[in-house]
Amino acid sequence: MHEVTISPKFQIVIPKAVRERLHFRAGQKLGVLIKGNTVSLVQVRPLRELKGIAKGANMEGYREEEDRF
């Protein structure tokens, strides 16, 4: 587990090993999710990067019978 320290300006530095593993770039946007006392940072991706992400996915069994068209 990596550890960070909150600066007096409430900033943190993401450790180099994490930046390299997740391919973070300077200026990249991250979303902040809060659940209970846990904070998660997630990469914000433009919609154009998500095009085709579910191509060929089998949606059978994911909806209730009454929700189907």
CATH number at residue 23: 2.10.260.10
Distance CA 34, CA 63 (A): 27
Asked if residue 65 belongs to a domain, the reply is no
Q: How many domains does the chain have?
A: 1
Asked if residue 21 belongs to a domain, the reply is yes
For residues 31 and 44, the answer to whether their CB atoms sit within 8 Å is: yes
Distance CA 13, CA 27 (A): 13
Is 57's pLDDT higher than 70?
A: yes
What pLDDT is attached to residue 46? 78
**Per-residue pLDDT averaged across 25-37, rounded?**
93
Asked if residue 1 belongs to a domain, the reply is yes
Q: What type of residue sits at position 16?
A: K
Asked if residue 54 belongs to a domain, the reply is no
Residue range(s) defining the domain that contains residue 33: 1-46
For residues 27 and 16, the answer to whether their CB atoms sit within 8 Å is: no
Asked if residue 24 belongs to a domain, the reply is yes
Q: What's the pLDDT band for 19 if we cut at 50, 70, 90?
A: very high
Asked if residue 11 belongs to a domain, the reply is yes
Distance CA 1, CA 60 (A): 38
Distance CA 18, CA 57 (A): 30
**Per-residue pLDDT averaged across 31-60, rounded?**
85
